[in-house]
Amino acid sequence: MGHVIGIDLGTTYSCIAGLEGGRPVVIPNLEGLPTTPSVVSFTAAGERLVGTLAMRQAVTNPANTFYAVKRLIGQKYRSPQIQEAIGRLPYTLKEAPNGDVAVVLGDRTLSPPEISSMVLSYLKECAEAFFGGPVTEAVITVPAHFNDAQRQATKDAATIAGLAVQRVINEPTAAGLAYGLDAKKNGLAAVYDLGGGTFDITILELSEGVFNVLATNGDSYLGGEDFDNRILEWLGESFRAETGIDLGSDKLALQRVKEAAEKAKRELSFTSETEINLPFISSDRSSSKHIRKTLSRLTFETMTADLVERTVPRIEQALADAKLTLDRIDHVILVGGQTRMPLVKERVTKFFGRKPEEKVDPDQIVALGAAIQSGVLDGQVRDIVLLLDVTPFALGIETEGDGYETVIERNTTVPVRKVKAFTTVEHNQRRVRIHVLQGEGFLASMNKSLAVFELVGIEPAPAGVPQIDVTFEITADGLVQVSAKDKETGLEQRIEVRPSSGLTAAEVEEMRKRQAGRELAKLGANG
């Protein structure tokens, strides 16, 4: 039997962990580092690079070096988030035939799950080198506010990489597991997770091995990338004002500026100012042009203060959903690399009235928690009695006139089963259409469609007379089942909602075989 690993597949960096002697440990990558850049690059010779080697290609080969793919996964090309990203990314995006976003590589396209699978394949290889044996299964984490399409796309990526997914769990929940098990803490914890591409806030109750998620909220398009982009925009606008040259059309220059922006951001977490020096960034008929700017922490905090403030209403909503006041929170845990920013720490401290925990490594705790969950599932970890998570979105059905009737509220503990009675809207109606939706919008059209099915054979009756019970069930694994039953006839129709990233099962299997074939070819070449 192969080993099981916990994976934190991040927007900018990824981390893996496993169990040794029943305790979680971070597994280093093949270069001996605890985290791996979530970057994939293809050279002119067709060689595929992953991680640090790929990141080094970003400046010299920007069109074929793919990063921040987690922000694309499970997304439609025409979504506002993707349309905004098009102008910032040095590589090309296009619309796939099914409406999903696709990444252009030469004369072909790759889906975001396929690119993410290449990162996961490398992490799997690192784990196999660490254990000296095969790795076949994984617990993989996702942002708490990922919708079903994004979660399924992440599972598809793992499947393509040759990993069977034991469980998909929310990143803040995983962090809470690692924190609670290691510190043996009880009480109420707020997990503030600001990573490279997403923000989540989770309120978690820790009690003698029981981990109960009370509420979660977040923004699946707010993270460190946005902080980098503020510096990038500042540099671009300054350069345009000074030289009249727009760097936006120069992919090579744009990537150099982006890398400099990220470096400056990191340095400003530890120093009051930093110099950004980019010689020969462009040129005109008169001379070569350079960027040389000094950026202070104060200026950076001013230009990004609104991003930090965007997290506050989410925290307030999570507390309200949990029916808690600030004075009830015992522990504040910071997760994600962007929480190293002093302004973030200051704002969190001010909001909660207490300093967050400093002993937690924000880059590693999620992977450690995922490894712990794998141990819980196979019996290696016995300190944890129970993990109770919640569904991050409401579920319901469409009613007459674009109406939306919620059946399961957001932040309901899973597993859960709820029944709601509905009726017909027309006389002698023989069938009803059940349209399953996800979201909190008051109109059906404002929410995400998950599935549609029909209950046929209802006995003719005046409108409003038939009684139709619609039952929603969500398992601990997050699988949704919906059934509709006519009380008069006993007729029942059931559907298992398996949201798709847009990839069919056949496409996932074909990509998995292609990925496996490449790995075998690589092993043969090295042998």
Long-range contacts of 258-261 (CB under 8 A, 24+ apart): 258/90, 258/228, 258/232, 259/58, 259/59, 260/235, 260/291, 261/228, 261/229, 261/231, 261/232, 261/235
Residue 351 near residue 332, CB atoms below 8 Å: no
- Going from the C-alpha of 22 to that of each of 223, 372, 380, the distances in angstroms are 33, 8, 6
Name which of 414, 444, 438 is nearest 497 in CA terms: 438
Residue 109 near residue 102, CB atoms below 8 Å: yes
- Active-site residue list: 8, 70, 171, 193
Give the separation between CA 63 and CA 86, rounded to whole angstroms.
Answer: 12
Distance between first and last Cα of the chain: 24
Element (H, E) at 227: helix 224-243
Kindly report whether the peptide bond that precedes residue 415 is cis, defined as omega within 30 degrees of 0: yes
As a whole number of Å, the CA-based R_g of the chain is 25
Residue 33: burial class (beta carbons within 10 Å; 0-12, 13-18, 19+):
middle
Place of tokens 């962007």: 338
CB atoms within 10 A of CB 107: 5
Strands (E), 394-519: 395-399, 403-408, 412-413, 416-422, 431-438, 448-456, 468-474, 480-486, 492-497
Element (H, E) at 266: helix 251-267
Q: Which two tokens stand for residue 364?
A: 């590693």
Residue 202 near residue 193, CB atoms below 8 Å: yes
Q: How many CA atoms lie within 13 A of 33 on its CB side?
A: 12
Strands (E), 327-394: 331-335, 386-388, 390-391
Sign for the CA dihedral angle at 511, 513, 516, 522 comes to negative
Number of helices (H), then strands (E), belonging to the chain: the values are 12, 29
